[in-house]
Structure 1
Amino acid sequence: MSGMMIRTLLTGLALTAALALAGCDAGGKGPKFSIVSGSENTVIQPIVEEFCKQKNATCSFTYEGTLDIGLALQSETGVEQDAVWPASSVWVDMFDTKRRVKTLTSVAQTPVILGVRKSKAQALGWIGKPVFMKDILAAVKNGSLKFLMTSATQSNSGASAYLAMLSSALGNKPVIEPGDLDKPEVQGTVRALLAGVERSSGSSGWLADLYTDSAGQGTLYDAMWNYEAVLKETNDKLIGMGKEPLYAIYPADGVAIADSPIGFIDHGRGPEVETFFNELVAYLRSAPVQKRIADTGRRIPLGDAVTKGDPSWNFDPSRLVTAIRMPEPTVIRQALDLYQGALRKPSLTALCLDFSGSMGGTGENQLQAAMRFLFNPDETGKVLAQWTPADRIMVIPFDSRVRTTLLATGDPAQQKNLVDKVSLQHADGGTDMYACASRALERMKDTQNLSSYLPAIVIMTDGKSDDASRDFLSEWMATNPHVPVFGITFGDADKSQLDALTKATSGRVFDGRGDLVSAFRAVRGYN
């Protein structure tokens, strides 16, 4: 073999090695590139995928709640994806203490506003006039307005609405300072506003789907706090369904604006991966793509392209809004602790725990560990999922029958008592999740002032249940307010049964097979 041939062969081997190190495939293929994002970016995903196709790259999206992205940034292992795309840079500032995120760049902007069913807005006298947070408060207090809103400790849209409420309660001072949060009158005002929450969630996209799905089934909610762009997407669906749209309310005393930043995480796979990210950002910021992003209802940083508004429901992305100044990260964290621990609407939660025979061994151990986490204020406080003394908790262990019903509040001593009592339960018997759900519903119906709580039934199961869904759903329909049922899967759970039950009750299924503790924490954002 000649020297030239050897050099050519070595050069080819070196190039192949470099491509493999960079996560690329030989033969001209681009890198494998993964993004973890907030759910509000689902409509932009196809635009990113077009770029990936142009570059022969394999791109994947994972959608997580704001808190999940923040906690991953803060953890020892960090985010496993190549890029993070949260709703707001605030969460990177607050959680990225190890400064892992590079080149954080805003792609779009969207304020968090209140969408009110148009006939409700008309009845409230809000059509064509400025509406202040005090007007929203008055409507909540007199019982004429309830709304959907994501959890402020799980989702950016909920946190944005909550921070705007705080800012208004403080008289719109230039910036919220730590001592401001201790003022009783401020806490009282915000607590009264949050009493208007009718359903909560950990995802802005899921909340919008809840509104449209419910409208399709004849259940009309009054209003929803969400991104201006998500309200456009929601109204596009509602109008297509022949349903009443939401009227956009831009609180005149201030709104929080999400800046939709995308940032790079260097996992040491070579400069080609970072180059691909930089090219992706340049593509997203290019004028033609910015126009396409603007067409989704988002406000773009360059300001050259704006979606045409719709006066019929007051949608106007060219409208100048009063933006609140976001507090320092330490103050935001203090505000979120205050929300979770004192100001949010209290929850009424029934936990149906599967202790059937198939849960023996690993399943039982992991379930007990999940309960030790869920009822340990020191641990739940770290992830903003703590209970309060105002919360009401039922723990109902079941197999083929309901074993017992344990009642408690979120008081720390009562939480410990729950852990002690659950520790005495062991796996044995068959599986009937509907018997547990019925017991929970019976207890909830006996609760005084049920409408003053956010109720939820959470079923954790690993097996197929005897099907008594028809009887349970008849009972469920007769209970007002309707109580959503959430499922947490474990082992080889029959997900189809849980899917059907949660869909019928406007709930959701969480996958607990990989991490049961995280699944229980996530469901807290929906209650």
Structure 2
Amino acid sequence: MRALGVVVVALAALALAACDRESAKSFSFVAGSENTVLQPIVEAFCKQRNTTCTFSYEGSLDIGLALQSADGVAADAVWPASSVWIDLFDTGRKVKDLTSIAQMPVILGVRKSKAEELGWIGKDVLMADILAAVQQKRLSFLMTSATQSNSGASAYLAMLSSALGGKTVIEPGDLDDSTVRGTVQALLQGVTRSSGSSGWLADLYVEAAKSGSGYDAMWNYEAVLKETNDKLKPLNQEPLYAIYPADGVAVADSPLGFIDRGTGPETEKFFTELVAYLQSAEVQKQIAATGRRLPFSSDAIAATPEPDWNFDPTRIVTAIRLPEPAVIRQALDLYQVALRKPSLSALCLDFSGSMQGEGEQQLQAAMRFLLTPEQASQVLVQWSPEDRIIVLPFDGRVRSGFEATGDAEAQAALLAEVANEQADGGTDMYSCAADALTRIAAAPDRDDHLPAILILTDGRSEGDALGFLEQWRRIEPHVPVFGITFGDADKTQLDTLAAATSARVFDGRGDLAGAFRAARGYN
């Protein structure tokens, strides 16, 4: 009997070892920011399987571009907001077993007192009503960039569909209609702040409400509006009232897809079991509790409606049909070069002595990317002729200032000026920021543009932020100050400016052009 016991223990050990070999040791995800709230649900499954799971969050365009690149996605699974971006960019069919995890219509959340003022409480609201409010200067809103983030693209496509009279499918010729273009362009004049991330935009709304300088409204996912209101409630701030445009909304399908990187069958097995776990009744209840709709639920599982702010995930919405990928790409190009609210961007370029060598070469290469339409258009960040660009090379002082529109000839002239700059001298980014702010404030048409300051620096700046921030507070509307770092930049100084001005800092040390592209999604 004792010998039999030894054999049983040995067999059990072998079985456990085989089980371990079948389980993925690690699994990585690249996801859209709107999926952050679902990470704990996935991590519970990872813990059950003794698998180390890691998450990185990227914009929809970033995920798409990675799929399109030769190197591919550095993750085992992609989880964007919508399969649109996979259809658009995954031409090599790298994504397998794509499965919708949730559905989220993109709707307009309006500060409740503003919704009452507009007479929108308890009634159907059309896109034409939203347009009228924008044109009457009674409404402005936050909205992510349509070329960077799915929520912005969804709102934009719904605007196009409405302008076409609720046409079932947008076709290529529809985008040439001048009336349609004019209507959508007028709607987009309502944008008061843009971003490349739906989650960041929601955080911006909450922070502004806390500071007493709140915004009127925000285009975002139905579920993200719930998350936002859940944060506003304990702060005693009024909720966002949900407006479901009656003439149609775009619905995100939150697809989870597998990327086979040759790590073995246990990795794909983990993915398959994860999808089954997410489709289980118990987990579906958890997903539904976040305000998301369930595409594969046979039961009537949904978060509890909240009539106080018109939230109802059981409500049947008029969903627009998304056009073919080629038409979507055409629509996004049209948005970038003609329809979006134009930007007024001041670029502070660090040409101090510490930039000599590699830093100067990187900066010049980044500017060639940004000011060459053929290159910028490949990743949907090209300038439009209505954009205003201010370039301010600086060291211990602002050396000179160059201003131009965003047409191709003017960009070439700016690029020629930048090419003449050479690194030398000290570093004072605050004097450059102050000069940029003065120029933006003096622009006669600044109210028709989205203003922003972008500071590119590799070193610690002389001076401090106090004087600049005093100037900044006196000028309204307030201008966000974004930072792009490379080299051994002191990120703390840029973080201080970004936090004080409701902006962000982007890490350009690995990919300066990529950081420029990300920053362009915010103005």
TM-score class, shorter-chain normalisation, is over 0.9
Instruction: Provide the rounded CA distance (Å) in 2 between the counterparts of 1:191 and 1:55.
Output: 50
Alignment of structure 1 residues 396-411 onto 2, 5 Å: 396-411=392-407
Q: How do 1:178-257 residues align onto structure 2 when only pairs under 5 Å count?
A: 178-257=172-251
Give the deviation of 1:220 after TM superposition. Answer: 1.0
User: 1:87-486 counterparts in 2 under 5 A?
Assistant: 87-303=81-297, 304=299, 305-486=301-482
For 2:359, the aligned partner's letter is G
- Per-residue CA deviations over 1:325-358 (Å, capped at 9, x if unaligned) read 1101110000000000100000000000111111
1:512 aligns with 2:508: yes
Letter in 2 for 1:350: A
Aligned-pair CA distance for 1:78: 1.0
Equivalent residue letter for 1:402: V
Aligned AA (2:383): W
Q: Aligned equivalents of 2:61 and 2:146: distance in 1? A: 9
SS of 1:400's equivalent?
A: coil
How is 1:30-49 mapped onto 2 (pairs within 5 angstroms)?
30-49=24-43
Deviation of 1:30 (Å): 3.5
Q: Which amino acid aligns with 1:458?
A: L
Number of residue pairs aligned between Structure 1 and Structure 2: 509
Which residue of structure 2 aligns with residue 9 of structure 1? Answer: none
Q: Is the 8 A contact 2:405 2:411 kept in 1?
A: yes
Pairwise CA distance, 1:31: 2.2
RMSD of aligned Cα (Å) = 1.6
Corresponding residue number in structure 2 for 1:8: none
Distance 2:90 2:107 in 1: 27
1:292-330 deviation line (CA, Å, top 9, x unaligned): 000000001134210001000001001000000110111
Q: Distance in 1 between matches of 2:397 and 2:265?
A: 59
| Structure 1 stretches of 4+ moved >2 Å | 28-31
Per-residue deviation, 1:467: 3.2
Q: Which residue of 2 aligns with 1:3?
A: none
The SS at the match of 2:37 is: coil
Q: For 1:378, give the aligned amino acid.
A: E
1:209–1:46 CA distance, 2 compared to 1 (3 A): same
Counterpart of 1:5 in structure 2 is none
Q: Tell me what 2:64 maps to.
A: 70
**1:371-428 deviations in whole A, cap 9, x for unaligned?**
0000000011110000011000011011111111111111111111111111111111
Q: What code does the residue aligned with 1:366 have?
A: Q
Other structure's SS at 1:262 match: strand
- 2:123 partner letter: K
Counterpart of 1:202 in structure 2: which amino acid?
G
For the residue of structure 2 that corresponds to 1:229, the secondary structure is: helix
For the 8 Å contact 2:433–2:468, the answer to whether it is kept is yes
CA drift of 1:468 comes to: 2.6
Which amino acid counterpart does residue 214 of structure 1 have in structure 2? Answer: A
Kindly indicate whether residue 36 of structure 2 is the aligned counterpart of residue 50 of structure 1.
no
One-letter amino acid of the counterpart of residue 389, structure 1: P
Aligned equivalents of 1:92, 1:145: Cα separation in 2: 34
> Contact 2:23–2:266 (CA<8 Å) still a contact in 1?
no
Identity of aligned residues (%): 69
Q: CA deviation at 1:96?
A: 0.5
Segments of 5+ residues of structure 1 without an aligned counterpart are 1-11
For 1:180-221, what per-residue CA distance to the aligned partner results, in whole angstroms no more than 9, with x for missing partners?
A: 000000000000000000000000000000000111111110
Cα separation, 2, equivalents of 1:507 and 1:468: 18
State the 1:449 CA deviation: 2.4
TM-score relative to the length of structure 2 = 0.95
One-letter identity of the residue aligned with 1:371: M
Give the AA of the match of 2:144. Answer: T
Q: TM-score of the superposition, structure 1-length normalised? A: 0.95
Q: What residue is the counterpart of 1:6 in the other structure?
A: none
Q: Secondary structure at the match of 1:44?
A: helix
Question: How far apart are residue 29 of structure 1 and its match?
Answer: 6.3
Q: Residues of 1 paired with 2:204 and 2:86: CA distance?
A: 28
Q: Distance in 2 between matches of 1:423 and 1:458?
A: 19
Preserved CA contact (<8 Å) 2:23 2:270: no
In the aligned structure 2, how far is the partner of 1:375 from the partner of 1:302?
Answer: 46
In the alignment, the residues of structure 2 paired with residue 299 and residue 143 of structure 1 have an alpha-carbon distance, to the nearest angstrom, of 34
Supply the AA of the counterpart residue of 1:318. T
Cα distance in 2 for partners of 1:102, 1:364 equals 42
For the residue of structure 2 that corresponds to 1:61, the secondary structure is: strand
